[in-house]
Amino acid sequence: MSLTARPVDSLEALLSTRPDLLEPHRRYYARVFEDDVAPADLLELGRLCVATVHGCDAELAIRCPGAGVSDAQVAALPRWREADCYTDLQRAALALAEKMPFRHKEVTEEDVAPLREALGEPRTVGLFVALGLFDATCRLRLVFGVEPRSRILDRPAAVEEPLP
Amino acid sequence: MSTRPLASSAIPGEAPDIQNVLAHQPELRDLFNELYAIVWSRGLVEHRTKEISRLRNARITGCGFCVNVRFERDGEKISESDAACVVDGYEGKGLDEREIAGLRLTDALIGDPQKVDPGLARLVCEQFSEEEILELALCVILGIATEKVLITLGLEPEPGTMATTVLPTPGSVATGA
Which pLDDT score, from 0 to 100, does residue A121 have?
97
Structural element, H or E, at residue B71 = strand B69-72
Q: Check residue B166 and report its DSSP letter.
A: E
Q: How confident is the model at residue B76 (pLDDT cuts 50, 70, 90)?
A: confident
As assigned by CATH, the class of the B18-172 domain is mainly alpha
Restricting to B residues 24-43, those with a Cβ less than 8 Å away from any Cβ of A are 24-25, 27-28, 31-32, 34-35, 38-39, 42
Task: For residue A21, give the nearest of B115, B136, B99, B91 by alpha carbon.
Answer: B136
Which pLDDT score, from 0 to 100, does residue B2 have?
54
Q: Which residues contact residue B2 at a Cβ distance below 8 angstroms, ignoring those fewer than 6 apart?
A: A107, A108, A109, B154
C-alpha distance from residue A67 to each of A41, A124, A129, B38 (Å): 5, 18, 18, 31
Q: How confident is the model at residue B46 (pLDDT cuts 50, 70, 90)?
A: very high
Q: Does B177 have pLDDT greater than 70?
A: no
Interval B64-91 mean pLDDT = 93
Q: Which residues contact residue B118 at a Cβ distance below 8 angstroms, ignoring those fewer than 6 apart?
A: A1, A2
Question: What are B97-153's pLDDT values in tens digits?
Answer: 999 999 999 999 999 999 999 999 999 999 999 999 999 999 999 999 999 999 999
Which pLDDT score, from 0 to 100, does residue B159 have?
80
Q: How confident is the model at residue B158 (pLDDT cuts 50, 70, 90)?
A: confident
C-alpha distance from residue A118 to each of A26, A43, A44, A112, B65 (Å): 29, 15, 17, 10, 29
Q: How confident is the model at residue B173 (pLDDT cuts 50, 70, 90)?
A: confident
Cα-Cα-Cα-Cα dihedral sign, residues B2, B6, B7, B12:
positive
Q: Choosing among B24, B152, B153, B156, which should be mutated to test the A contact, i.e. which has the most A CBs within 10 A?
A: B152
* Alpha-carbon A145 to chain mean position: 18
Q: Distance between CA A57 and CA A23 in Å, rounded?
A: 24
Cα-Cα-Cα-Cα dihedral sign, residues B33, A116, B15, A128:
positive
Q: How confident is the model at residue B176 (pLDDT cuts 50, 70, 90)?
A: low
- A2, A37, A137: residue with CB nearest B25: A37
* Alpha-carbon A144 to chain mean position: 18
How many of the other CB atoms lie within 10 Å of CB of A109? 11
Q: Distance between CA A164 and CA A153 in Å, rounded?
A: 9
Q: Does B1 have pLDDT greater than 60?
A: no
pTM comes to 0.96
Contact B156/A at CB under 8 A: no
ipTM of the complex: 0.96
Low-confidence ranges of chain A (pLDDT < 70): none
Question: What are B5-40's pLDDT values in tens digits?
Answer: 999 999 999 999 999 999 999 999 999 999 999 999
How many of the other CB atoms lie within 10 Å of CB of B91? 12
